[in-house]
Amino acid sequence: ILNVEQSPQSLHVQEGDSTNFTCSFPSSNFYALHWYRWETAKSPEALFVMTLNGDEKKKGRISATLNTKEGYSYLYIKGSQPEDSATYLCAPDTGKLIFGQGTTLQVKP
For binding to other proteins (CB under 8 A), which residues are involved?
1, 31-32, 34, 36, 43-46, 49, 51, 87, 89, 93, 95-102
Amino acid at 105: L
| Closer to other proteins by Cβ: residue 71 or 100 | 100
| Closer to other proteins by Cβ: residue 34 or 80 | 34
Residue positions counted in the chain: 109
94-104 b/e with 16+ CB inside 10 Å = b?
eeeeebbebbb
* DSSP designation for 83: G
Quote the least distance from Cβ 52 to other proteins, whole Å: 10
| Closer to other proteins by Cβ: residue 17 or 94 | 94
Quote the least distance from Cβ 44 to other proteins, whole Å: 5
**Alpha-helical runs (H) found in 7-98:** none
Quote the least distance from Cβ 77 to other proteins, whole Å: 19
Quote the least distance from Cβ 13 to other proteins, whole Å: 21
Cα torsion through 53, 72, 87, 41, rounded to 10: 60
